Structure 1
């Protein structure tokens, strides 16, 4: 899935906000599998991997949703994390407001940033019955 020009503009703006230190930052490959379910309040949990400088690191992910949340789904996301200097920079809380509907299989794409300035650019497939217009957060931790 290619990024739209709007998504590219957002990434460019985020790179400008991080200043000249972004030139020293690097990127890595990320895969996440997230299970999500709820009724008004929802939750998500999952796991994944980060590949950075030839090393593979385990990841755990989880979060809470609030708003119009109904159903359950499994989402498999792949992409990259940018603007990191070390693997630990991927760890943190990523927040998003969004909406979506998945009945059966659907395509999902997200662009998020955390408090360390790491930028997640992921896309993938969502399977299940899920309807949401919500505020959601995703916390990613690095397994050690």
Structure 2
């Protein structure tokens, strides 16, 4: 991971505790802008690292992306698959960027779940839910960086 990206992720980690409050959609009836699916892996001993790939579905079209990020507190190794509901997305280019996260979860053996509210600097909100396979315990205070990939 590039040093500048790591510094950015760590900076977002310092404000991640407020992310669930900032990231929640304001109105209960707010319509999502897009959806995303994701698969990846995570390794943590204290500081953790997550990587993977996904697909954004926006206005009937799909856009591949990759994810990498850090978590502040965790231990274990897991495979992750999940979905995200996206709010406040006006353009595909606004999806890419660094998101502050706050959430938590864990898994033992074949089942585990986690969720996180994520907010990027463009105001895009992602409510993410994941299923995990492996052994882990985490408090996802950190950040993830999303990069759009060519089709």
Aligned residues: CA RMSD: 2.6
How far off its partner does 1:96 sit? Answer: 2.1
- Aligned: 1:48 with 2:54: yes
Q: Which residue of 1 aligns with 2:114?
A: 108
SS at match of 1:88: helix
Specify the SS of the correspondent of 1:127: strand
In 1, distance between residues paired with 2:148 and 2:134?
27
Contact 1:45–1:61 (CA<8 Å) still a contact in 2?
yes
Which TM-score applies when normalising by structure 2? 0.73
Q: Aligned equivalents of 1:100 and 1:26: distance in 2?
A: 24
Q: 1:35 aligns with which of 20, 41, 52?
A: 41
Rounded Cα–Cα distance in structure 2 between residues aligned with 1:90 and 1:37: 25
Measure the CA separation in 2 of the matches of 1:122 and 1:134. 12
2:97 maps to which residue? 92
Question: In the alignment, which of 61, 71, 77 is matched to residue 76 of structure 2?
Answer: 71
Q: What does the per-residue CA deviation read over 1:8-34, in whole Å, with 9 as the maximum and x for residues that have no partner? A: x93217xxxxxxxxx9x9711100112
Per-residue CA deviations over 1:46-77 (Å, capped at 9, x if unaligned) read 0000011121100100012233x211111211
Q: Tell me which of 7, 17, 26 is aligned to 1:12.
A: 26
Aligned twin of 2:124: 118
Name the counterpart of 2:8: none
Number of residue pairs matched by the alignment: 127
Residue 123 of structure 2 aligns to a residue in which SS? coil
For residues 80-139 of structure 1, what are the alpha-carbon distances to aligned partners after superposition, in whole Å with 9 as ceiling and x for unaligned? 211111111111111124443211211222221100111101223111101123532111
Note the residue ranges of structure 1 that are not aligned, 5 or more in a row. 1-5, 14-22
